[in-house]
Amino acid sequence: MTITINRVSKWYGHVVAVNDVTMNIEPGITGLLGPNGAGKTTLLNMIAGFAAPSTGEVSLDGQPTWRNESIYRQIGLVPEREPMYDFLTGRKFVLANAKLHGLSDPGAAAEAAIAQVDMAEAADRTLDTYSKGMRQRMKMAAALVHNPQVLLLDEPFNGMDPRQRLHLMDLLRRMSADGRTVLFSSHILEEVEQLATHIEVMVAGRHAASGDFRAIRRLMTDRPHQYRLRSDNDRALAAALVADGLVVSVQVDAEDEALHVQTSDFGTFTVKLPKLARENKIRLYDVTPADESLESVFGYLVRG
């Protein structure tokens, strides 16, 4: 099943949480990566039908997700917050979820789900005696009990120890191998790197990058960087830059009294530019990178 997000924006008053995002989530494991406050949870809430987009559509195989309880037949949601049916045992909790789905054999489905998350021994204890990792696994069992085609997980690795994390990653890989669509959000680079085959990056509500992890990284280094230069002799500077072979393109902007240059190797560029200016007796007034936002995404991806 495919989740389609089409030109979706969501704002709360003057705060724009999600800004014109378009993406398709296909079967496989997709990681939604971004710093805190990037809008990941809002987007997940919209996909899960717990928030309405201010504009745009969020749909699951063509069906809108908002105000549509039938989508929950296909979706399993593992929310971030702790559940509070503390008085139930783990088994009863998963069983209740199975019954609420109207499954024909809720008992068997519950047992299967509990076995999948490896919680069969602790299943008879009440939920309030569980550790955080155990609760997370029970939440997963509850989300899996009806065999959903789509699995949505909000920061699923929060609070898990390394062993539990490996176990969960394994489980998710198995789900994905079955042809399901798994979407999880995280702000930790390594988790996404290890698990997701496809990542969507969100920064400040915008859809900043999408695709295979390594491909994005390559794009970052290969992509030409744009700068705006102001000096006391633009044309001479332009000539010097072209002669030196540092830049990919140069554009003289008479109106703006600036030089727009594109370079593919910004490291060398930033080192050589002042030297070049000095050699040619040109005074530099202003050097500004023009694609600031992508810079920050790149920095985020690289530094982690």
Partner 1 sequence: MNGTIARLTFAGLLRGWRGLLLALLPLGFLAIALLMRVVDATDQATIDGLLGGLNMATVVPLVALIIGTGALATEIDDGSIIYLLTKPIKRGKIILTKLGIATLVALAFTVIPTIIGGILLTGTFGDVTIGYTVAVAVSTFVYCALFIMFSVISKHAVLVGLVYILLWEGLIVGLIEGARVLSVQSWGQSIAAQVTPDVFGNPLNGVLGAVLAVVAVIATSWFATTRLRSLTLASET
Binding region for partner 1 (CB under 8 A): 17, 36-38, 40-42, 45, 48, 50-52, 66-67, 69-73, 75-77, 79-85, 87-88, 96-97, 99-102, 142-143, 154
The residues facing 25 across adjacent strands are 3
Q: Least distance from C-beta 227 to partner 1, angstroms?
A: 33
| Nearest distance from C-beta of residue 146 to partner 1, angstroms | 9
**Distance, CA of 105 to CA of 109 (rounded, Å):** 6
Which one, 14 or 163, has the nearer CB to partner 1? 14
CA 56 to mean position of chain CA atoms? 19
Rounded to the nearest whole angstrom, what is the least distance from the CB of residue 51 to partner 1 in the complex?
Answer: 5
Which residues, including other chains, have CB under 8 Å from residue 205's CB and lie 6 or more apart?
A: 16, 17, 18, 19, 21, 38, 39
**Closest to partner 1 by CB, 48 or 246:** 48
Residue type, 27: P
Q: Which is nearer to partner 1, 74 or 176 (CB)?
A: 74
Contact, 98 vs 144, CB < 8 A? no
- Nearest C-alpha neighbor of 79 from the set 139, 137, 29: 139
Cβ proximity to partner 1, 13 vs 162, nearer residue: 13
Min CB(35)–partner 1 separation in Å = 9
With b meaning 16 or more CB within 10 Å and e meaning fewer, what string describes 157-185?
beebeeebbebbbebbeebbeeebbbbbb
Q: CA geometry: angle at 205 spanning 82 and 136, to 5°?
A: 15
* 63 vs 221 by CB, closer to partner 1: 63
CB of residue 66 vs partner 1: minimum separation in angstroms?
A: 8
